[in-house]
Structure 1
Amino acid sequence: MSEKFELRVVTYMCPTHPVELYELILELLEESINCYTTLQYESRTPGPFPDRPDPFITDKVDLAFMTAGAYMNLRDCKNTAMELLPVTPVFAHQMNVENKPGYFSDIIIHSDKKGHNVNTLLDLRGCNFAYSDEVSLSGTKIVLKTLKEKGENASFFGSLLRSGSHLASAQMVLSKQAEWAAVDSTTLLYSKKFMQDGGRDITILETLGRLPPYPIVINAKLPEEIKSAIAKALLNLPHVGQWKKRFAQFGVIKFERNGDAVYDGPAAQMRAVPSEKLNIRYY
């Protein structure tokens, strides 16, 4: 592209992901498609605030990184000012041996619990559970779905502790404020090394999923040329050694094709699982 333009980007994925990852994505785009970028950081919500003017309809944002649940909410509202960029990051994980899009929910405990005959999810009956928020697919919904499939109900939990983020949930387990948590697998991937003693006292008991890929949402008003250039720059990541190495420090292996169909069917059913209404303590 001959003339530079400004690309306005927002991420709703922090602190689940480090903001440095999104700064790196912007750096890649600036170099690849000859643009300027600005980054907004919004950690209070997993996607656009539902009770505020939509940033796509008001033309305040060009590109947004958000949770799958938040994107599905926008689709439900028939928001025609936005569309899915057909690209998604692929993260490393011990369960992702085929390097496919999507992520997982890691059920974590403090390593001390292993000495108390805690070997499976069902061994956690009556234990205090930390979770990020009520609508998180990895922090709440998949846990409730899995417990229901195993014949369990609300009586399974000792207490529900709403932490506010996956990172905070992991810290609560590490400090023994909570006995277990379900956290986005990509949170542990990068953040564990910054925790006390490198997070060595955190044990992954089980892994649930795979969950639908992280959506990248783009302003529908952008020219098709720009949309295609952004997608091409991200998909080309594995072929450029210097960029591949820098993204690897965040656990990103590559970017892969993505489509709306993955947010239908099982993903939509999981999102529809009602959150348990228990006595919740906020931290």
Structure 2
Amino acid sequence: IKNIKLYDNMLSTAKTSTDKSVQGELVHTESKDTSIIIKKLMHTTAVSHENFQTKNEKFEMKVEQKDLKETGKQETAQTKNEKFEMKVEQKDLKEIGKQETPQLLNEQSKVSKPEQQQMKFKTAELKNVELRTEKLKKEDKELKCSINVNQTDIPKCKMIPIADKFDVPKPSNVAVPRKCPPLSTPLLSERPLVLTTHLVPSLPINLFEVLVEAIEVATEKPVVLLHEPRSDRPVAKEVADIAILPASTKWKDGVLLPVSFCFEHHLNKNNSSCVYADVVVAADRALHVQDITDLRGHRCSLPDRKRNIGAAALLFNYLYMKGESPAFFGNTLDADSQVATLQMVAGKQAEVGVLESPVIKCHKNTLPGINSLHILTSLGPLPPYRVMIIRMYLIYAICSIIFPDVFKRKITTYLLNINQDREWLDRFAPFGVTGFTKNFEKFYKLDGVKSVATSVPYY
């Protein structure tokens, strides 16, 4: 019986426990459902609240836009009123200015003349001060630029290469150049005129061939061409009728014609008949030379050192002005001609040379090694080349016709008018001749020029 009672008690306790667990599960499920429902309600309330806020914001934006439109209308009306007021004020100012201008004129007229002069003087001083300040500013900028740039030694003399950069090297076997047909056919049965030149080989013989043809056209007489390459020989007596001579050479039996060549040179800006001299330096020495005074101790080639008028005389007179003596160069080499000087510098026999500029122009495309030379500077001017005619025709003029005056006038007028003939200019252009200009005896009167010392003692 006891055992039965114990079994009943255990069953009752088990039922009670199971009932509690079931109730707990029901409560738990109920709590879960309620939490889900609460969350859903919270979400819906939040969404509804946000929608309500957005609606309120949209409504407020619309109200603000309306207010802005109304304020904009009010402001446009105000701006229109302000513009109208500004126009009225401008009109008033113009009317006031018109009324004040005669008053100012009257006041200015009342001012005394000395006061006006003082005012002008003060304004001029102010302008001068402004100009000075601008100049100082520019100088400061230039100094700053010069300091910032890499410092390089700028030569005082601008080096000029003899050969142009764009010159194409010509082959050695060039064909024979085309010759122009003669412009005149003189009577060869008459006694010809004889023209002799003492400028060859410094100037090419081809230049004088063109000149002879021009004289034939001018005189309508045949002309025979002779040349004397030796510098110590006089003009042939009873042979020559016309002579082309250097400036230092004289002809006792001749008279100077008032015409001479006009050569191209960067210093000859007035189309003068005078000749300039160029100081030529080898290319390897050009980098170390800035002025003629930097050539001390170098070997120099001189073409006409014994003459009072010439390139060598110009060079030594320049050095004399700088306080230098004839012993300035380490060694001086005498050359027989101007071309020989050019060849000595090109062939490294001398480092410096001085010669007349027309010689460089005529030989820069024919002389080998001339591409390595530079012109350091130019000196001058020298007197023109002499174009002379024999004086003996003046005696013949007394007996018969005034032959010499007519003869001289024909040559001079024709040569001076060559500048207007394109064909003649094209034929003279390869030799650097730009035409012919007037020549005068006063060009050869050089009292201040001293002769060059040919022997100098060295200690």
Cα distance per residue 1:22-59 (max 9 Å; x no partner): 1110011112321101111101016x53xxxx63xx43
* Secondary structure of residue in 1 paired with 2:414: helix
- For the residues of structure 2 that align with 1:202 and 1:278, how far apart are their CA atoms? 28
Structure 1 residue 268: deviation in Å? Answer: 4.2
Alignment counterpart, residue 7 of structure 1, candidates 182, 193, 197: 193
For the aligned residue pairs, the C-alpha RMSD in angstroms reads 1.9
Structure 1 segment 179-258 matched on structure 2, within 5 A: 179-196=351-368, 199-222=370-393, 223-258=404-439
Cα distance per residue 1:223-268 (max 9 Å; x no partner): 221111111121111111111110111111111111111111xx34
- The match for 1:124 is 295
- For the residues of structure 2 that align with 1:258 and 1:269, how far apart are their CA atoms? 20
The structure number with the bigger radius of gyration is 2
Q: Is the 8 A contact 2:326 2:453 kept in 1?
A: no
Structure 1 segment 1-283 matched on structure 2, within 5 A: 5-45=191-231, 48-49=233-234, 55=236, 58-71=237-250, 74=251, 79=252, 81-115=253-287, 117-136=288-307, 137-196=309-368, 199-222=370-393, 223-264=404-445, 267-270=446-449, 272-278=450-456
* Secondary structure of residue in 1 paired with 2:365: helix
* Secondary structure of residue in 2 paired with 1:35: coil
Q: Is the 8 A contact 1:139 1:181 kept in 2?
A: no
* Secondary structure of residue in 1 paired with 2:336: coil
- For the residues of structure 2 that align with 1:139 and 1:213, how far apart are their CA atoms? 13
Structure 1 residue 157: deviation in Å? Answer: 1.1
Unaligned runs of 5+ in 2: 1-185, 394-403
Structure 1 residue 179: deviation in Å? Answer: 0.6
The one-letter code of the counterpart of 2:255 is E
- For the residues of structure 1 that align with 2:430 and 2:286, how far apart are their CA atoms? 30
Structure 1 residue 275: deviation in Å? Answer: 2.9
The one-letter code of the counterpart of 1:114 is A
The one-letter code of the counterpart of 1:178 is A
Q: Is the 8 A contact 2:327 2:456 kept in 1?
A: no
* Secondary structure of residue in 1 paired with 2:330: coil
Q: Is the 8 A contact 1:144 1:275 kept in 2?
A: no
* Secondary structure of residue in 2 paired with 1:269: coil
Cα distance per residue 1:110-139 (max 9 Å; x no partner): 011023x21110000000010113234333
Cα distance per residue 1:55-114 (max 9 Å; x no partner): 3xx43211000111113xx4xxxx3x3110110111001111222110111000001102
* Secondary structure of residue in 1 paired with 2:270: coil
The one-letter code of the counterpart of 1:234 is L
- For the residues of structure 1 that align with 2:456 and 2:347, how far apart are their CA atoms? 23
Identity %, equivalent residues: 29
Q: Is the 8 A contact 1:105 1:183 kept in 2?
A: yes
* Secondary structure of residue in 2 paired with 1:69: coil
- For the residues of structure 1 that align with 2:282 and 2:240, how far apart are their CA atoms? 41
* Secondary structure of residue in 2 paired with 1:44: coil
- For the residues of structure 1 that align with 2:436 and 2:191, how far apart are their CA atoms? 23
Q: Is the 8 A contact 2:306 2:451 kept in 1?
A: no
- For the residues of structure 2 that align with 1:132 and 1:181, how far apart are their CA atoms? 9
* Secondary structure of residue in 2 paired with 1:164: coil
- For the residues of structure 2 that align with 1:215 and 1:130, how far apart are their CA atoms? 25
Change (3 A) 1:269 1:5: farther
Q: Is the 8 A contact 1:91 1:254 kept in 2?
A: yes
Q: Give 1 or 2: higher strand fraction.
A: 1
The one-letter code of the counterpart of 1:276 is T
- What is the number of residues matched between the two proteins? 259
Q: Is the 8 A contact 1:82 1:220 kept in 2?
A: yes
- For the residues of structure 2 that align with 1:35 and 1:87, how far apart are their CA atoms? 20
Q: Is the 8 A contact 1:33 1:233 kept in 2?
A: no
Q: Is the 8 A contact 2:271 2:437 kept in 1?
A: no
Q: Which has the higher contact order (CA 8 A, sep 6+)?
A: 1
* Secondary structure of residue in 1 paired with 2:249: helix
TM-score (norm: length of structure 1):
0.86
Unaligned runs of 5+ in 1: none
The one-letter code of the counterpart of 1:244 is L
Cα distance per residue 1:205-240 (max 9 Å; x no partner): 010001111111110123221111111121111111
